[in-house]
Homo-oligomer: A and B are copies of this chain.
Amino acid sequence: MTVKPSYKLTPLVAKLPATVPFVGPETQERIAGKPFQARIGANENVFGPSPLALKAMQEEAAGIWKYADPESHDLRVALAAHHCVAPENIVVGEGIDGLFGYAVRMFAGPGVNVVTTLGSYPTFNFHVNGYGSTLQFVPFKKDHEDPVVLVEKARETNAAMLYFSNPNNPMGTWWPAKTIAKLIDDVPDETVLVLDEAYIEAAPEGTAPPLDVSKPNVLRFRTFSKAYGMAGARVGYAIGHKDLIVNFDKIRNHFGMNRVAQIAALHALRDQDYLVDVVGRIVRARERIYKIAAANGLSTVPSATNFVAVDCGKDAAFAKSVLEGLVERSVFVRMPGSDPQNRCIRVSVGTDENLDLFERELAIVLSELR
């Protein structure tokens, strides 16, 4: 019996699709009836967290009966010291995804424009749609986000927000600090720049401009999910002017942080030696992906992240076939959604074993397709 409900969803929620920004690898595994042998599709950091963070997680597990500190005080103080800003310039949240939801909620709504790059991070777009704003897309320019055209588009559409990722996902491309500094200068005062630096720790020195929290309309997003190897912990943070940051307190889920994750992030932050080591391993794995691609006659997009866009050399349909072949052979990878970026598959860095498998299976898949 179908029940016709009488309650009234908001007009906005009523018309939203029940979409999922990404299908998880677990869902694919359930459908396939077997686990992936290499999980190198979600830009997770297979090298994992600092041993200090791991130890903290194990030691603090018994304290899980306590709620986390709703102010994330100790973590914010440590992050403030690390970045040479004040704790009031930092908000900690449930991953960058959670913080994007809050940030979008502050500014978005029907009739409000938000500018981003077509094919850039879909979860940001999910929130923009979810709060009823209109996305204004600018295409990639040679696989890079295009700061000049994005600013023009923001000005032209009187946009409330401009999303920019540096380095970019899904292409791995980046701009030097000078370009980003100019973007920060050029973004209209009326527009909040959402600068997603999730992958910044894996980028070359000189990719991030200095943090300037006197700029009223810039939010810079960082995370423990990528180089720090703690994607499943859900700890992200935003840095900005205190008058902008304080708005998060109006709407955020104050008791939303996992207590053990909060403490583990503090320990991960303290272990910068480990971070340097992991970034070295990311760089080496990145280079190995370049080589594997080249050995198979494929080019790659130089990356400043923990993944590489491998150009399959033909159209989207061909890249999709390569992806599907790999997935069938238990290698989890993903691919960009926009044209012509969808000529590529996106391969996250893996362990030596993961990349051995990728190397072997890629050659087989390509030979079958050619």
Contacts and interface: CB of A to CB of B under 8 A. Distances in A.
- Please classify the interface of chain A as helix (H, G, I), strand (E, B), loop, or mixed, using the class held by over half of its residues: loop
A294 to B, nearest CB: 28
A50 to B, nearest CB: 11
A12 to B, nearest CB: 9
A9 B64 contact: no
A264 B65 CA distance: 12
A1 to B, nearest CB: 7
B253 A22 contact: no
Q: How large is the interface on A (under 10, 10 to 19, 20 to 34, 35 or more residues)?
A: 35 or more
A344 to B, nearest CB: 22
A171 interface: no
Nearest to A12: B109
Contacts of A67: 24, 42, 44, 225, 231-232
Nearest to A55: B61
A7 B65 contact: no
Interface of A: 1, 3-10, 13, 16-24, 26-27, 30, 39, 42, 44-49, 53-54, 57-58, 61-71, 73, 94-95, 97-98, 101, 105-109, 123, 130, 160, 188-192, 214, 216-217, 225, 229-234, 241, 243-244, 246-247, 249-251, 253-261, 264
Given A7-B190, A27-B73, A39-B66, 12 more contacts: A7-B192, A20-B70, A26-B71, A27-B70, A48-B64, A58-B61, A65-B229, A67-B232, A68-B232, A97-B253, A98-B256, A231-B259
24 contacts: A3-B243, A5-B216, A6-B217, A13-B106, A16-B250, A18-B249, A19-B250, A20-B254, A24-B67, A24-B71, A26-B69, A27-B70, A27-B73, A42-B66, A47-B65, A57-B61, A64-B232, A67-B225, A67-B231, A95-B256, A130-B250, A232-B259, A234-B258, A258-B261
